[in-house]
Amino acid sequence: MSKYVKELMMDQLRRELDGTRSVLLLDLGGLDAISETQLRSDLRKKSIRIKVLKNSLAGRIFEEMGLGGLRQYLSGPSVAAWGGDGVAELAKEISSQVKKLAEATKKEQKPRIKGGAVDGVVISPDEVEDITKLPSREELIARVAGLALAPAQRIVSLANAPASGLLGQLRSIAEGAEADAEAAPANAEAAG
């Protein structure tokens, strides 16, 4: 392959990965063309992109991006996956697709996740699996919103409490105030 062609390939990969700090590396060995096309189509629907890599050129690009640690996973057939709504969604979708394809493949070599990088930190295949167990971005936002709204919900529930409960609390306060008022003159007489 000529130097010019290699430069073109590197420029294209640079443009496609521009600004990406989370990438998963896969080995899609053992897939037939139909399965791979279906995988690409399924991932495209979720805004996840995949690209077959030439390992030596990809290693250079990852070095430039500050993801040099990914070189350890660049052996054999390599495919990069990136995009989606977030890291957890990317990992979940890729993991489920790879498992589904591995079950359907009858060949010895099955698709697998080699490793990846999350926000610039290189991770192993086991850590990718751990990420799939994290809640999605939307779930986390909902949890934070729920925590922020909890005090307001308590105030509303107290305000909506039955009137008798509120009346009982007011009576207790009033009786306590009356008892304090009666005790004040008695204390004044005893002191004087």
pLDDT in tens, 29-57: 878 888 888 888 998 998 999 898 998 89
Rounded Cα–Cα distance for residues 78 and 83 (Å): 17
Residue 145: band (very low, low, confident or very high) from pLDDT cuts 50, 70, 90: confident
In tens, the pLDDT along 66-125 reads 888 889 999 888 899 998 888 888 888 888 888 888 887 777 777 888 998 888 889 888
128 has a pLDDT exceeding 60: yes
Tokens of 124: 């192993």
Which of the 8 DSSP states describes residue 54?
-
As a whole number of Å, the end-to-end CA separation of the chain is 110
Which two structure tokens, joined as six digits, stand for 122? 């290189």
Domain boundaries, the chain: 3-134, 141-191
What pLDDT sits at residue 89? 85
Q: In the predicted model, what is the mean pLDDT of the chain?
A: 81
Q: Is 124 left (phi over 0), alpha (psi -120 to 50) or beta?
A: beta
CATH topology of domain 3-134: Alpha-Beta Plaits (3.30.70)
Q: How far is CA 20 from CA 117, 125, 135, 167, in A?
A: 10, 19, 21, 61
Instruction: Name the pairing type of β-strands 48-53 and 121-123.
Output: unpaired
Question: CB–CB of 16/51 below 8 Å?
Answer: yes
Give residue-wise pLDDT tens across range 149-178. Answer: 777 777 766 666 665 566 677 778 878 767
Q: What is the per-residue pLDDT for 187?
A: 57
User: Do 53 and 26 contact (CB within 8 A), yes or no?
Assistant: no
Give the pTM. 0.67
